[in-house]
Amino acid sequence: MAEEAKKSGKGKRESNKAQKKEEPKAEVLENKTLESTEEAVIVPIEEESTEVKSGFYKEAWNPKTTLGKRVKSGEITDIDYILDNGMKILEPEIVDALLPNMESELLMIGQAKGKFGGGQRRVFKQTQKKTPEGNKPHFATFAVIGNGDGYVGVGYGKAKETVPAREKALRNAKLAIIKIRRGCGSWECGCGGHHSIPFAVEGRCGSVRIKLIPAPKGKGLCIQGECQKILKLAGINDIWSKSLGQTRSTINLVKALMAALQKMNDMKTAGSSSKAGFIEGKAKAAPNDAPLEK
């Protein structure tokens, strides 16, 4: 009897061990099925995350100004309507919605600490304030945005850290976007394209004066390096320049360049309505004035 009990006990133990060995296999199979289902669910989620990071979603934007509401509703679909009528842009999302292909770049306005002032150029300009608690650093930067087709904006941002300063500069650049008048004003070219500017113009800021002169096609941007970035994003490929004053001050040089580009929009040419009317009136009055010249 004892031997039979021992055999029955061994049989029960063996059956329990077999069940325990089989259970992990089932768990492994369940995990595999779960992993396969998770993989099937994860694939579309990753695609959605890349789309969110890639661009600006107009549906998620909640405008606060009247102009922003008109842009989101579709009443205004062209940024030229805003710039030509002198409307003030107070939301950077307006530029993101109307000009989705904008590119941005930071200008080299700072300098790293180097021996005898020979530090490497940087995009952030660092300043410090002496206080009883210690030095409080601040960082400033210049950002430029443009689409390479006649629209450009420059913004200045300053904060206690580099990332907020950069974001503030990009936001101010979008709020200060302008339309650039392009053409071919060089007597050496005369192709009638939009690779340069239509006429010479001059801008000033502080002691810095910069003069922009039309150049023939293929000449390139003969101007300071940081100004080249602005003109390239504005869609200007050929230009001559002449600068006077303390041009090592990059901030004043950039401001003088933007003042020159803005002045081109203020000047009236033969293509404008008022100038064209003046020329037509002078042409009509010429026959009556002819006897007086004799």
- Judged by average pLDDT, the poorest of 45-49, 82-86, 179-183 is 45-49
pLDDT of residue 283: 41
pLDDT of residue 3: 52
Q: Give the mean model confidence (pLDDT) for residues 250-268.
A: 90
Q: How confident is the model at residue 100 (pLDDT cuts 50, 70, 90)?
A: confident
HEC sequence for the chain: CHHHHHHHHHHHHHHHHHHHHHHHHHHHHHHHHHHHHHHHHHHHHHHHHHHHHHCCCCCCCCCCCHHHHHHHHCCCCCHHHHHHCCCCCCCHHHHHHHCCCCEEEEECCEECCCHHHCCCEECCEEEEEEECCEEEEEEEEEEEEECCCCEEEEEEEEECCHHHHHHHHHHHHHHCCEECCCECCCCCCCCCCCCECCCCEEEEECCEEEEEEECCCCCCEECCHHHHHHHHHHCCCCEEEEEECCCCCHHHHHHHHHHHHHHHHHCCCCCCHHHHHHHHHHHHHHHHHHHHHC
* Average pLDDT value for the chain: 78
Q: Does residue 107 have a pLDDT over 60? A: yes
pLDDT of residue 117: 65
- Between 269 and 24, the higher pLDDT residue: 269
For residue range 215-248, what is the model confidence (pLDDT) as tens digits?
Answer: 999 999 999 999 999 999 999 999 999 999 999 8
pLDDT of residue 267: 74
pLDDT of residue 19: 53
Say what the pTM is: 0.69
Q: Give the mean model confidence (pLDDT) for residues 97-106.
A: 92
For residue range 138-176, what is the model confidence (pLDDT) as tens digits?
Answer: 999 999 999 999 999 999 999 999 999 999 999 999 999
Q: Kindly list the structural domains of the chain, giving each domain's residue range(s) and its CATH number in brackets, ordered by start.
A: 66-179 (3.30.160.20), 201-268 (3.30.230.10)
